[in-house]
Amino acid sequence: MHDSAELPVPVWRDELEHEYAALAARLEPLVPCLEIPLHLPWIDAINTLKKQRGAVIMAHSYQSPEIFHGVADVTGDSLGLAQAARDCDAELIVICGVHFMAESAKILAPDKTVLIPDLDAGCSLASSITADDVRALKARHPGVPVVSYANTSAAVKAESDAICTSANAVQVVEAMGAPKVIFLPDEFLGRHVAGRTDVELVLWRGRCEVHEKFTAQQARHARETFDARIVAHPECSPEVLAEADFVGSTTAMGKWLARQQPERVALITECSMADNLRAQFPQTRFIKPCNLCPHMQRITLPNIYAALRDLRHAIEIPAEVIAGARRALDRMLEVGRREAA
């Protein structure tokens, strides 16, 4: 096994300027232009190795532009990536995101090899609660169903009755058919959901270390100074959400931008997402009250290359945990099918 520090740095070839001219033009407004010649050799080496391995690279919307646009075959939110891992023909999947996302892909595609470039790419929400915590909550609230946010470990999912995303949390909570639901682990998302349902929620004290940093004053400043529309993720505090013109998931934010096409917008979420959306909505000026997720930033072009080269950091989950987590995920997917019918 090679250490990533021992990786040979791919060398610049003049042909890369022509081969990746379209990508370079796409990246130019998204990353410092001096970085592009440094990224292109890695992108070329990854794309070559990806073809040799028959691998598919999947990147979350919070990944940096050189990954999101440069090497990813599939992009999207955590559930979308897991479903894509299940549905694609490739037997080797590289998840450019955090650990719970790679676990979710493995849960839905247990027979495939799922790699994560850095095992330490974690999540403050996922680490805020354990399976033991869930069992203790269920003991204190016997018979009360548990709905866990997707941003949780496989072990926590396995202890849950259903999983939800930020987009479908209200629908999943109400689908439990109970007057009270244990909702885990994001306190702010839980408070947002509680304001939109008559179901009583038992909340946990988990918070996203990125979204909890945003303030209502930042949102007001973006509106008053730049005349920007405010779009916020429901993992933000209630005070921030009260300032927003729209509150929604990462996918819902993109759909809102497509519908509204605002002149100026402030996305109150992880700021790599704004970088990536700027390529899709060049007519919109993005005002960034910017917080980067330190865990997402652990995924880099060199460690993606190392993961492919050495087939390293494969996700392994005990079969009984996969079975329990899959039941909870299937419960959520069934809610979605009923909503669509």
289 band by pLDDT with thresholds 50, 70 and 90: confident
Arithmetic mean of pLDDT, 245-252:
94
User: Sign of the CA dihedral 176, 182, 188, 194?
Assistant: positive
202 in helix, strand or coil?
strand
Is there a contact between 97 and 59 (Cβ–Cβ < 8 Å)? yes
Note the pLDDT tens digit of each residue in 216-248.
Answer: 999 999 999 999 999 999 999 999 999 999 999
Q: Is residue 4 very low, low, confident or very high in pLDDT (cuts 50, 70, 90)? A: very low
CATH for the stretch 4-122+296-310: 3.40.50.10800
pLDDT of 341 above 70: no
| pLDDT value of position 337 | 77
Average pLDDT rounded to a whole number, residues 255-284? 92
Of 264, 105, 143, 250, the residue nearest 189 (C-alpha): 250
Query: Per-residue confidence at 339, pLDDT binned at 50, 70, 90?
Result: low
Q: Where are the domains of the chain?
A: 4-122+296-310, 126-208+318-340, 211-287
What tokens were used for 197?
């349902």
Phi, psi for residue 324 in degrees, rounded to 5: -65, -45
**Residue 269 tokens, joined:** 């979420």
* More confidently predicted of 45 and 14: 45
Q: Is the pLDDT of residue 8 over 80?
A: no
Mean pLDDT (the chain, rounded) = 94
Q: Sorting pLDDT into bands at 50, 70 and 90, what band is 274?
A: confident
Overall fold of domain 126-208+318-340: Rossmann fold (3.40.50)
First to last CA, the chain: 50
Q: Is the model's pLDDT at 3 over the cut of 60?
A: no
**pLDDT, tens digit (0-9, with 9 covering 90-100), for 32-58:** 888 999 999 999 999 999 999 999 999
In this structure, what DSSP letter does residue 249 have? -
231 and 246 in contact (C-beta within 8 Å)? yes
Better-scored residue on pLDDT, 336 or 157: 157
Residues 6+ apart with CB under 8 A from 111: none
- pLDDT attached to residue 302: 96
Percent of the residues in the chain that have a pLDDT greater than 90, as a whole number: 85
Q: pTM for the complete prediction? A: 0.91
Range 211-287: architecture per CATH: 3-Layer(aba) Sandwich (3.40)
Q: Are residues 69 and 279 in contact, defined by beta-carbon separation less than 8 angstroms?
A: yes
Decide if pLDDT at 79 tops 50.
yes
Query: Where residue 6 falls among pLDDT bands split at 50, 70, 90?
Result: low
Any idea how long the chain is?
A: 341
Give the tens place of pLDDT for each residue, 99-121: 999 999 999 999 999 999 999 99
Extended beta strands in 141-217, E state: 146-149, 162-164, 180-184, 200-203
State residue 2's pLDDT score: 43
User: What pLDDT sits at residue 290?
Assistant: 78
* Residue in 148, 181, 133 with CA at minimum distance from that of residue 327: 148
CB crowding 119-142: b at 16 or more within 10 Å, else e? eebbbbbbbbbbbebbeebbeeee
